Amino acid sequence: MITPYDPPQDPLEILHEDADMLAVVKPAGLLSVPGRGEDLTDCLIARLAVVFPNVLLVHRLDRDTSGVMVFALTPHAQRSLSMEFETRRARKTYLARVRGKLEPREGTVDLPLTVDWPNRPRQMVCHDTGRPAVTDWRVVSYDEHETRVRLMPRTGRSHQLRVHMLALGHVILGDPIYAKGAAGDYPRLMLHSEELRINHPENGRGMRFRATAPF
C-alpha cells in the first residue's frame, strides 16, 4: 500500500563536494525530484538547491529507496555524468533484503520491462514490448525467512530491481507496491543504493562513493 507523502526531515549526509559535483545519501521516503501536486514539492534536489543553487539532476532513485546519489553543479558536469549512466559506465551496487531463500547464490536476471499501464506506477515483465533489463545478483547471507543480497543492475529501468526480484519469486521486503501480506509489513522498502562508481566529470578520475545500508 502506498502511504501519504511524509518525507523524513533529518539533515542530509554529504559524501563528497567539489566545484563540479556532489555525492549525497538520499533517505528512504524522500522524492529525488518534485512529484505531481503541491504536496509533492519537497524533494532531495530542492533541499540541495537551498545550499547549492546550481545543482543539476543526473539520475534518480525511487522515493522508497535510500542510498548514494550524485548531482552535477555545472552543465558540463551534468552532461558528462549523465552520459556515464546512459552508456552504462556508472557501476551501481544495491543491498536488498528479499523474501525466502534466493538460490543459487549468484546469477543474472535478463527480463524486459514495461509499464503496467492500468496499474501505474507498477512495472511488469513483457517479452513483446518491454525494454531490455539485466540485473546481476550475489547473495550476502541467509536468515530464517529471508535473504540479504547485493544487486548490480546493468541497465536502469524504472523499478528494475523490484520487478526482477518479484519475477524470481523473492519480492523485496517492505515494498509498498509489489509485496503482499507479511512481506509488505516492514517499516520501509528494504532496498539501498550501497555503492556508486563513476569517473569525475572534469578530470576523469575514478571515484567510489559508498553508504552503509541502515537495515
- pLDDT over 90 for what percent of the chain? 96
Coil, strand or helix: which one is 180?
A: coil
Q: What is the mean pLDDT of residues 1-24?
A: 93
* Contacts of range 205-208, beta carbons closer than 8 Å, 24 or more positions apart: 207/16, 207/23
Which pLDDT score is estimated for 3? Answer: 76
C-alpha cell at 4: 501519504
Which pLDDT score is estimated for 2? Answer: 65
- The C-alpha angle with vertex 132 and arms to 149 and 192, in degrees rounded to 5, equals 30
Alpha-carbon dihedral angle through residues 73, 7, 84, 93, given to the nearest 10 degrees: 140
How far is Cα 9 from Cα 109, in angstroms, rounded to an integer? 36
Per-residue pLDDT tens over the stretch 134-190: 999 999 999 999 999 999 999 999 999 999 999 999 999 999 999 999 999 999 999
CA distances from 97 to 34, 65, 102 (A): 28, 12, 10
Res. 195: pLDDT tops 90: yes
Question: What is the CATH code of the structural domain delimited by 93-191?
Answer: 3.30.2350.10
Q: Kindly report the pTM of this predicted structure.
A: 0.96
Catalytic center residues: 62
